[in-house]
Amino acid sequence: MHDLYWLTQPSQFKAEMSAAKAHDDPYEQLQALGAIAKHNLDFTQTIRLDRRLQSLYKQIDSKAMGLPSIRLAILASATADHLIPSIRVAALRRGLIADLYLAPYGQYRQEILNPASALYQFAPDAVLLALNAAEAGIHLPLGAGENELQDRIAARVEEWAGLWEVITGQLQAVTLHQTMVVPVEQVFGQYDALVPASPANILTQLNQRLRSHAARHKTTLIEIDRLASAVGKQSWCDAPLWHHAKQDVSPIYAPLYGDSVGRVLTAIRGLSRKCLVLDLDNTLWGGVIGDDGLEGIVLGQGSGVGEAYQSFQAYVKLLKERGIILAVCSKNNEETALEPFFHHPEMLLRRDDISIFVSNWEDKATNIRRIAADLNIGLDSLVFFDDNPVERGIVRKYEPAVAVPEVPDDAAWYSRCLSDAGYFETVSFSADDRLRTEQYLANRQRQTLQQKTQSIDGFLAQLEMTMSVAPWDAVSIPRVTQLINKSNQFNLTTRRYTEAQVRQMSQDSDILTWHVRLKDSFGDNGLISVIIARPEQAGDRQSLKIDTWLMSCRVLGRQVEHEVLNLLATYACGQGYDRLVGEYISTPKNSMVREHYLRLGFTLLSEDTDDSGIVHSLWCLELKKFKPTKTFIQSSFDSKESA
């Protein structure tokens, strides 16, 4: 791997850069640059794009535009200036505005431990510790034993973990930590790994220790050792440049480095892709099922080509197991397209692995829109994998939000391509993720029921919904954080919090931190709503002010918000509050909840519109006058864990 080969070649780079400049409106300029960023840019092109971005970011207010953004601080032990453009461009490639701060070279401890440092002023959402092998600083006599080595490694990693805790606790930011690039140079030759104190073994062991600590501390690793291996360590670090300029990553590979960081930032913001849309003919098997028939398609043991397609299916099945939704989008008669799924003995993917199966003769852009609508997810959650360049071109043209990788000519490289492209990066893996495919399937069945049932009340009654509300706990915090960072539509204030901040709030007994789960006759919808509220005193009136109220759009129109209010009002009353205060802050995406509080019986206290057109309204509900709304939901409040 040498470049971002899954992206299309920037054949019109220069012309597109000029065209982007011609836009007077900064937002349009940003859109144009975002489209250019989706190409396989080399490092000089990346530098050029980034120069534009830097000046553009000074002119725009990402918040007012409703654009997702993230503040990343980079604390490095080597030169990292040359990596900055690629990180900014990689974030933009995924629709994320990255605001970066690079601490002075080698000053990471001072920056983290001194609350007056520039790092604290910057107030990052995430902190990247880019420490290299030299910074590990473990030098032992070659005769040193395993115990001595482990003691030294433990001490070093404990020290770093201490810094991670400061980053989480004081800066309330997410920590990213780079693994060490294990050197290629050998001292004993191939015997190196058997000598505890050989440089290569020290760093290998250190990486292992970093990984086990990271899992415990919720630190995300940037696996630079893996990336350097994939590129080839011989060229990953240009040895003369290391000595001469202290660059431990060659500028040539800055785009790959930046993309690795960019995809993690995307995951932190909950913007990673969620669904893989697959073509069938020459994508999941060799040949064309409509022409070649069940016996004619090439799949499975016995031929190299057939094994390659099967191994791709095995990889896709793993993606499904980790919670990536699978969909099929094929130009075929549906009956023909389904045949291999039911009758081909070598098919690893079965019909029930696929959440949505669309096979017809309409154009693929239309079908992809249908898939997104049926799954109730945005087009920006989809990856479309199709061997046919024409279909890829059509989808790129008409639905640019869909990620469409260039597909290798040989199926043997398909899984590597999907893996290298990193669309599905994550910073956590929870039980809810694994359930997701089942959840989307159940949602389809619910929609079918809704179509069959005449009245909405009849539909809701048949769903037999049960809702449980409880304060956040260790299990729910990853999913709560995910929702806080990715919900746009049913989100009253769109306040984003990092996992560290979420954890902090959950431990603060003054703050109400609730999550809501919903089950129904079709299955478990999982954790679908989050509430944060804080006490507020106005005169002698005790108010409970709702800082955050958000809900997954999967459960819209199910009376969940009414039932949540029933519980919230009862709880607040019991705690001696006089009233609930609700807040709405407009974004380009949340107009559906503009009248949320009005619908729930709140009265308007105030409404302002600022210069950039953002509406900010405050609402109030007198608890004495509140009467619960009758819903079709059985609810329970688990106060045991209540803080």
Among positions 1, 16, 19, 48, the unique one binding another protein when judged by CB under 8 A: 48
For residues 339 and 94, give the distance between their C-alpha atoms in angstroms, rounded to a whole number: 36
- Among candidates 547, 555, 564, 558, which has minimal Cα distance to 628? 564
Check: CB of residue 91 under 8 Å from CB of residue 70. yes
Number of residues forming the site for another protein (CB under 8 A): 23
For 51-83, letters b (16+ CB in 10 Å) and e give ebbeebbeebebeeeebbbbbbbbbbbbbbebb
Residue with Cβ nearer another protein (251 or 286): 251
| Window 351 to 410, contacts with another protein (CB under 8 A) | none
The least CB distance from residue 244 to another protein, in Å, is: 5
Residue 240 within binding range of another protein, rule CB under 8 A = yes
CA 169/CA 368 separation, integer angstroms: 43
- Other residues' Cβ atoms within 10 Å of the Cβ of residue 305: 16
Whose Cβ is closer to another protein: residue 42's or residue 473's? 42
Q: Which is nearer to another protein, 102 or 171 (CB)?
A: 102
CB nearer to another protein: give 35 or 252: 252
CA geometry: angle at 295 spanning 293 and 299, to 5°?
Answer: 105
| Cα distance between residue 350 and residue 341, in whole Å | 5
Stretch that binds another protein, among 36-44, 185-193, 379-387, 555-563 (CB under 8 A): 36-44
Is the CB of 102 or the CB of 505 nearer to another protein? 102
- Beginning with the edge strand found earlier in the chain, give each strand of the sheet holding 512-520 in spatial order: 603-609, 615-622, 579-585, 541-551, 523-538, 512-520, 465-471, 633-637
Among the listed ranges 24-32, 37-45, 332-340, 355-363, the one in contact with another protein (CB under 8 A) is 37-45
Applying the rule CB under 8 A, the residues between 246 and 265 that interact with another protein are 247, 250-252
Cβ proximity to another protein, 46 vs 481, nearer residue: 46
Q: Does 579 bind another protein (CB under 8 A)?
A: no
Taking CB under 8 A as the criterion, the residue among 5, 6, 43, 309 binding another protein is 43
Q: Which stretch binds another protein (CB under 8 A): 13-21, 98-106, 317-325, 518-526?
A: 13-21
- The token pair that represents 144 in the structure block: 């040193």
For every residue of 344-409, which 3-state class applies, written as one string? CCCCCCCHHHCCEEEEECCCHHHHHHHHHHHHCCCHHHEEEECCCHHHHHHHHHHCCCCECCCCCC
Query: Would you count residue 18 as binding another protein (CB under 8 A)?
Result: yes
Q: How far is the CB of 121 from another protein (least distance, A)?
A: 24
Of 18 and 31, the one with the shorter C-beta distance to another protein is 18
Asked if residue 81 binds another protein (CB under 8 A), the reply is yes
User: Binding another protein by CB under 8 A: which of 44, 234, 609, 639?
Assistant: 44
Q: Toward another protein, which CB reaches closer, 244 or 625? A: 244
Binding range to another protein, per CB under 8 A, among 45-53, 179-187, 259-267, 504-512: 45-53
* Per-residue CA distances from 271 to 40, 70, 275, 396 (Å): 21, 12, 12, 19
- The reply on whether position 23 binds another protein by CB under 8 A is no
Min. distance of Cβ 242 from another protein in angstroms? 11
CB of 81 to another protein, least distance (A): 5
Q: Is 29 in the site for another protein (CB under 8 A)?
A: no
For residues 359 and 93, what is the distance between their CA atoms, to the nearest angstrom? Answer: 30
Among the residue ranges 43-51, 402-410, 478-486, 598-606, the one whose residues contact another protein (CB under 8 A): 43-51
Residue 562 within binding range of another protein, rule CB under 8 A: no
Considering only 12-20, 495-503, 584-592, 610-618, which stretch makes contact with another protein by CB under 8 A?
12-20
Using CB under 8 A, which of 45, 179, 494, 506 touches another protein?
Answer: 45
* Dihedral sign (CA 444, 448, 453, 454): positive
Q: Residues 132, 137, 141, 143: is their CA dihedral positive or negative?
A: negative
The continuous run of DSSP H or E covering 503 comes out as helix 499-507
For residue 615, give the H/E element and its range: strand 615-622
Q: Does residue 233 belong to the site contacting another protein (CB under 8 A)?
A: no
CB-based contact 341:349 (threshold 8 Å):
yes
Yes or no: say if 86 and 636 are a contact pair by the CB < 8 Å rule.
Answer: no
Contact 369, 379 (CB under 8 A): yes
- Residue 456 CA, chain-centre distance (Å), reads 34
Among 38, 39, 52, 209, binds another protein (CB under 8 A): 52
Q: For binding to another protein (CB under 8 A), which residues are involved?
A: 14, 17-18, 42-45, 47-48, 51-52, 81-82, 238, 240-241, 243-245, 247, 250-252
